């Protein structure tokens, strides 16, 4: 199925990215186990990154900080600095762009790069180019990169995740010619796109390896999962026609904001405060991009880890908007309709069905232009003096999180 004129795609992954950035900044910690974790006093006290020395002690990403310290008592714990990690990630993007103009960020620590038309400018083969990329990133940022190489994005990703990360040189090439030898014997949960739930479903069908899935009748997968079944089959067979697209994140389909709460919120009054703050932030971000939306979604997760509860629901507005009172009213109504009354540990609000906000329907009963001017005046104040320069009175209550969130990026301290 795949064209013989295959591309040469790299998936460049930064080893223990946050921890590596911290070790580059603190050379004295080079030989010490180190983890980056949230504030232990709050519920964000989980491991975000662990260096290889800490991982040898059994520390894993996403486990609780207390458990990590018990496994590795002499570990150095550093609170995250998200602004710095974003800066280094952008610096790595700039390094990759010296080797090709086709660079697509996949996450803060992973990036695709298509070197099909440029690799001969930098080496005799893709492996030599990969080594030069590794050397450039290490020299300029202090971060060690692993490189998966493949004829498409999905094979490059699985080459990196399953092989390059375990190789001494941090480089591995996965092709259609060697996938039968290397990829297909792997357990099915090692395949890109298979999580714990899908792993259980596939094993119930007798599919235990990636090779089993590759050989499974496509029409049966389609009958069970539709298009997703076809995607699973294509991934197992190493087929992927999606290009490396530098502008892949330029078109936004939705704007959302989710918050893990510092304690269990038990009353509707407390949760309304958070819903208002989330609605405020979603609308501010929408206005900053010149967008408004027509569908409001609300989700929450319960506080009981052993018996997870929660919901995710959405509603369509009568007309698109990015004005907070309208979004908040819809979010509050959704929440009150579907909340089971149990304590809540995280809440989220999102706005979808986006469109440009330079054209809108006039309303006999609303002064839309006055709303717009007021919103943009508040946005200008926050842009100049910070997001907590002006807040609503409810944010001064014990339930408010606006001041704390102003110190963070993506839920972590800057």
Burial class (CB in 10 A: 0-12, 13-18, 19+), 305: exposed
List the beta strands (DSSP E) in 143-242.
145-150, 171-173
For residues 18 and 51, give the distance between their C-alpha atoms in angstroms, rounded to a whole number: 9
Half-sphere exposure of 359 (CA within 13 A, CB side): 2
H helix runs in 238-357, sequence order: 268-288, 324-338
For residues 58 and 73, give the distance between their C-alpha atoms in angstroms, rounded to a whole number: 12
Q: Give the count of beta carbons closer than 10 Å to the beta carbon of residue 100.
A: 22
Active site amino acids: 110
Q: Put residue 216 in one of left, alpha, beta given phi > 0 → left and psi -120 to 50 → alpha.
A: beta
For residues 84 and 25, give the distance between their C-alpha atoms in angstroms, rounded to a whole number: 11
Which residue in 279, 284, 309 sits closest to 297, CA to CA?
A: 279
Residue 109 annotated as lining a ligand binding site: yes
What end-to-end distance do the CA atoms of the chain give, in Å? 46
Residue 6 annotated as lining a ligand binding site: no
> What residues form DSSP beta bridges with 254?
352
Q: Give the residue numbers of the binding site for Mg(2+).
A: 13, 109
């Amino acid at each position: 199925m795949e064209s013989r004129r295959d591309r040469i795609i790299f998936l460049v992954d930064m080893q223990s990215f946050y921890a590596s950035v911290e070790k580059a900044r603190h050379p004295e910690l080079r030989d010490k186990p180190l983890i980056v974790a949230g504030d232990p006093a709050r519920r964000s006290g989980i491991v975000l990154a662990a260096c290889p020395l800490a991982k040898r002690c059994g520390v894993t990403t996403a486990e609780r900080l207390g458990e990590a310290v018990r496994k590795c008592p002499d570990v150095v714990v550093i609170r995250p600095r998200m602004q710095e990690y974003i800066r280094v990630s952008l610096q790595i993007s700039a390094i990759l762009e010296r080797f090709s103009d086709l660079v697509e960020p996949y996450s803060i620590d992973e990036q695709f790069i298509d070197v099909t038309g440029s690799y001969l400018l930098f080496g005799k083969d893709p492996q030599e180019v990969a080594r030069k990329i590794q050397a450039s990133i290490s020299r300029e940022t202090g971060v060690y990169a692993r490189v998966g190489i493949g004829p498409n994005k999905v094979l490059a990703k699985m080459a990196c995740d399953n092989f390059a990360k375990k190789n001494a040189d941090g480089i591995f090439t996965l092709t259609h010619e060697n996938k039968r030898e290397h990829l297909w014997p792997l357990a099915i949960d090692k395949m890109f796109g298979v999580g714990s739930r899908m792993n259980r479903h596939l094993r119930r069908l007798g599919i235990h390896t990636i090779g089993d899935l590759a050989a499974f009748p496509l029409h049966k997968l389609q009958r069970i999962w539709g298009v997703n079944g076809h995607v699973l089959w294509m991934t197992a067979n190493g087929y992927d026609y999606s290009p490396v697209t530098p502008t892949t994140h330029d078109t936004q389909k939705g704007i959302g904001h989710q918050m893990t709460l510092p304690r269990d919120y038990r009353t509707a009054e407390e949760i309304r405060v958070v819903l208002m703050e989330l609605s405020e932030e979603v609308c501010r971000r929408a206005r900053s991009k010149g967008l408004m939306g027509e569908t409001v979604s609300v989700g929450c997760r319960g506080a009981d880890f052993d018996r997870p509860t929660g919901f995710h629901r959405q509603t369509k507005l009568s007309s698109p908007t990015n004005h907070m009172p309208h979004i908040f009213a819809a979010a509050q109504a959704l929440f009150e309709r579907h909340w089971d009354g149990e304590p809540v540990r995280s809440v989220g609000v999102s706005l979808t069905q986006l469109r440009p906000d330079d054209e809108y329907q006039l309303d006999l009963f609303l002064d839309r232009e006055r709303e717009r001017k007021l919103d943009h005046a508040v946005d200008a104040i926050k842009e100049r003096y910070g997001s907590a320069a002006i807040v609503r009175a409810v944010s001064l209550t014990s339930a408010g999180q606006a001041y704390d969130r102003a110190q963070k990026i993506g839920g972590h301290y800057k």
